[in-house]
């Protein structure tokens, strides 16, 4: 297993930067180990989504990251997050966008024996994870 750690500065977009990092490092089977971050803009897809019926919500306020989980490769990533507001209220869902307000300290692990790919799943209607042995 290989581990990568990097920091994102204010104004950067978490999902975009994680994907760029995975592409640059040619990560084939990556996963989020941990992340500590603050955001001032978050866009999430809520649970129960279908390809033609997605509840996407956008928030413009200060948040602290509570959790970040997901899989990634050099071509795509699938991330879910939970964030808390100033009152400790937590919201979460499928990450569409999250703009860093203070910092994002990201730790990614990589399974060097696998390759993650995405392919259309006719049952869900979405591109889903396919795990391949190297």
At residue 99, the pLDDT reads: 98
Query: How does 79-108 read in b/e, with b if 16+ C-beta sit within 10 Å?
Result: bbbebbeeeeeebbbbbeebbbbeebebeb
| Domain at 16, CATH number | 3.30.1330.80
Phi-psi region of 19 (alpha: psi -120 to 50; beta: other; left: phi over 0): alpha
The total number of structural domains that make up the chain: 1
Confidence of residue 89 (pLDDT cuts 50, 70, 90): very high
Over the stretch 29-53, which tens digit does the pLDDT of each residue have?
999 999 999 999 999 999 999 999 9
CA 87/CA 103 separation, integer angstroms: 20
So what's the pLDDT on residue 80? 98
C-alpha distance across the termini of the chain, in Å = 14
Strand partners, 108: 4, 32
Range of the domain at 40: 2-133
Q: What are 70-79's pLDDT values in tens digits?
A: 999 999 999 9
């Amino acid at each position: 297993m290989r581990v990568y750690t990097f920091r994102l500065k204010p104004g950067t977009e978490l999902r975009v930067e994680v994907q760029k990092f995975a592409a640059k490092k040619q990560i084939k089977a990556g996963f989020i180990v941990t992340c500590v971050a603050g955001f001032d803009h978050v866009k999430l897809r809520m649970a129960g989504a279908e390809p033609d019926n997605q509840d996407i919500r956008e928030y413009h306020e200060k948040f602290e990251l509570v959790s970040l989980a997901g899989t990634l490769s050099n071509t795509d990533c699938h991330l879910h997050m939970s964030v808390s507001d100033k009152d400790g209220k937590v919201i979460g869902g499928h990450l569409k966008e999250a703009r860093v307000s203070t910092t994002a300290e990201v730790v990614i692990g990589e399974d060097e024996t696998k390759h993650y790919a995405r392919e259309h799943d006719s049952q869900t209607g979405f591109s889903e994870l396919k795990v391949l042995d190297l």
